[in-house]
Structure 1
Amino acid sequence: MRIPAMEQSSRLWHLLLFLVVTIALAAQAVLVLTDGTDANSGTHVTGDTVARLVRLFSYFTIDSNILVAVCCAALVLNAARDSRVWRVLRLDALLSIAVTGLVFALLLAPHIHLTGTALYLTVALHYIAPPAALVGWLLFGPRAQTDGRTLVTALRRTACWACPRRPPGSCGWRCSTARVRPARRCSTRTRS
């Protein structure tokens, strides 16, 4: 059975994007685990392993790129995939990675000065993945499957991620060099 040219193109596009994103995410995890520079913040990463990983996976950039990688892998396996959950996941990945690219380029990039491996990783995660995901969606869809209900459901994860954010340590998880533990109470004031 012969696969149509458009489906082959879609699979190749998404395979390449999957490889770029997955390799960059794996390399970023290695940098974080080996006290390297974080491509998301430009800071030298210290602390225990669990705290470093919690910090790494708390970045919207990482979450967005993981969603893109999952969607790309699914599209490589079945370019004609369709279901209600799939539409939401695909649109959520697209919206999240678009936010990632725009926020990084417009707000964060002027303040982060990376070199070496961290620079290559930030290019992959912030400058290649966002437009490549958008172009892939524009070229291969599923644009016609996007309706208002799908959009609202997809936006919910992004809104839930962004709204409750507080400065590290003020609410939710406390990351210290000793261990990561749930915070006992939410407070923006420091105690002496």
Structure 2
Amino acid sequence: MTRTWHGLIALLVAIALVGQTAITVDDGRSLVNFFSYFTIESNILVLVASVLLVLRPDRGGTAFGILRLGSLTAITVTGVVYATLLAGNAEFEGAEWWYDKIFHYVVPVMTVIGFVALRPRTRLERTALWSLAFPVAWLAYTLVRAEVADPVYALTPTTTAPVPYGFLDVADLGWLTVSSICLVMTAGFVALSVFYARISRSRPARR
């Protein structure tokens, strides 16, 4: 069951990634922007972790633990933030509508279910918390790139910004507000990572 479940996750992510990349190129949009979205990067992490679990469901080790926890927390945040803050900002049609749902709803839910409900479950040691370097690095990259490269992202059909998500737009919100948001997000990642790590080390209830 574990192989089948994660194989399906990997297949869905691969289809959505290839399809959305093709649409992005065809529309003449920036591929650098596309692959700079936290959503896309978290889905790529899930894809890699899922493929490795298909090959060996009982996979462990420090490197995989970091990847597993990093992909799990990142895709959870992706789903929660999109559902609560970003859904409805953009309008999608045709295949893009389906890819949007895969990236933001289907993959996050399936990934969490796969971790919580299926066995064998990856045991996450303290070293797995190095995965927190990923969201911190992404935040730094996003904010620095906005200042030095002046990229253009479509936040809604009528508004743009140099960052992929409006809550990180320093020009609109100011450094103090964005810094506060970054601190809250970092704290959320830490709490979620610790939560998942503890779940991974819990023993199944005896029957």
The TM-score bracket by the shorter chain reads 0.7 to 0.9
- Over the matched positions of the two proteins, sequence identity in percent amounts to 34
2:10 aligned with 1:33: no
Q: How does 1:141-152 map to 2 (within 5 A)?
A: 145-151=123-129
Deviation at 1:167, TM superposition (A): 8.0
The structure 1 residue matched to 2:67, chosen from 71, 89, 92, is 89
1:106 is matched with which residue? 84
Deviation at 1:141, TM superposition (A): 5.6
Gaps of 5+ in 2: 153-170, 172-207
1:24 is matched with which residue? 16
1:165 is matched with which residue? 142
Gaps of 5+ in 1: 1-8, 36-45, 177-187
Matches of 1:112 and 1:16, distance apart in 2: 27
Matches of 1:79 and 1:123, distance apart in 2: 26
Matches of 1:144 and 1:29, distance apart in 2: 31
Contact persistence 2:65–2:125 (CA under 8 A):
no
Higher RCO structure, 1 or 2 (CA under 8 Å, sep 6+): 1
1:124 is matched with which residue? 102
Deviation at 1:118, TM superposition (A): 1.1
Structure 1 residues 98 and 30: alpha-carbon distance in aligned structure 2, compared to 1, 3 A threshold: same
Q: Please tell me the root mean square deviation across aligned C-alpha atoms, in Å.
A: 2.3
Matches of 2:36 and 2:20, distance apart in 1: 13
Structure with greater Cα Rg: 1
What amino acid is aligned across from residue 132 of structure 2 in structure 1? Answer: L
Provide, for residues 13-40 of structure 1, a one-character-per-residue CA deviation record: whole Å limited to 9, x for no partner: 00111101110000000000110xxxxx
Contact persistence 2:14–2:47 (CA under 8 A):
yes
Matches of 2:68 and 2:3, distance apart in 1: 15
Contact persistence 2:59–2:122 (CA under 8 A):
no
Structure 1 residues 142 and 60: alpha-carbon distance in aligned structure 2, compared to 1, 3 A threshold: farther
Deviation at 1:169, TM superposition (A): 4.7
Matches of 1:138 and 1:124, distance apart in 2: 20
2:179 is matched with which residue? none
Aligned residues: 154
Higher helix proportion (structure 1 or 2): 2
Matches of 2:151 and 2:137, distance apart in 1: 21
TM-score using structure 2 length: 0.68
Contact persistence 2:58–2:122 (CA under 8 A):
no
